[in-house]
């Protein structure tokens, strides 16, 4: 695991460990890499409850309650699905927060639905509020996944910082 990922994991721990908040992941294209990054820091079991790797639409629907109509109309690679994955993970795993990723890491797009390789939607937040980010560049599968993992952690840290500012 690269140094940047470990640093982000440690920073995430500093926000969650003492606050008694919990997090889960809902991952498609990243296949568990975000969860792996979260648990890279000792003590993660205090705040990380688990994750759902939802590589297929069937799992997105059944375990994360993603609306089948949204999948049908937009494909799995869209902002709405990323948001619903966060909400579903919070509900299914009974957590305060979740991080999700859905996209095409490469080398080819899965559904050939006109969405280019390198398109990855990230989302994070709670059942009631989410923040999203769209990645659109293709650097090859391994790099796409590494970038998505780190950007997902950064996105969540930004979400937490915004929430902390509002509470003050």
- Residue 7, pLDDT score: 92
Query: pLDDT category, 137, cuts 50, 70, 90?
Result: very high
Domain count, the chain: 1
- Residue 31, pLDDT score: 97
* Arithmetic mean of pLDDT, 132-157: 97
Domain that holds residue 156: 3-167
How far apart CA 97 and CA 48 sit, in angstroms, is 10
Locus of tokens 């997105």: 60
133: domain CATH number? 3.90.950.20
pTM equals 0.95
How do residues 32-75 score in pLDDT, each as one tens digit?
A: 999 999 999 999 999 999 999 999 999 999 999 999 999 999 99
Beta carbons of 106 and 100 less than 8 angstroms apart: no
How far apart CA 102 and CA 119 sit, in angstroms, is 9
**Is the predicted pLDDT of residue 144 greater than 70, yes or no?**
yes
| Cα separations in angstroms, 33 against 67, 107, 129, 147, 155 | 24, 18, 23, 11, 15
């Amino acid at each position: 695991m690269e140094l940047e990922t470990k640093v982000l994991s440690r920073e995430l721990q500093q926000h969650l460990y003492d606050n008694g908040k919990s997090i889960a992941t809902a991952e498609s294209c990243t296949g568990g890499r975000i969860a792996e990054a979260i648990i890279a820091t000792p003590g993660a079991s205090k705040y990380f409850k688990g994750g759902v790797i939802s590589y297929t639409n069937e799992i997105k629907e059944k375990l994360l309650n993603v609306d089948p109509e949204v999948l049908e109309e937009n494909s799995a690679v869209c902002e709405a699905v990323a948001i619903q994955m966060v909400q579903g993970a919070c509900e299914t795993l009974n957590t305060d927060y979740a991080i999700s990723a859905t996209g095409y890491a490469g080398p080819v797009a899965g559904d050939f639905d006109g969405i280019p390789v390198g398109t990855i939607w990230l989302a994070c937040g709670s059942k009631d509020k989410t923040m999203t980010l769209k990645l659109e560049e293709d650097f090859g599968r391994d790099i796409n996944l590494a970038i998505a993992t780190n950007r997902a952690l950064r996105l969540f840290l930004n979400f937490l910082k915004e929430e902390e500012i509002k509470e003050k």
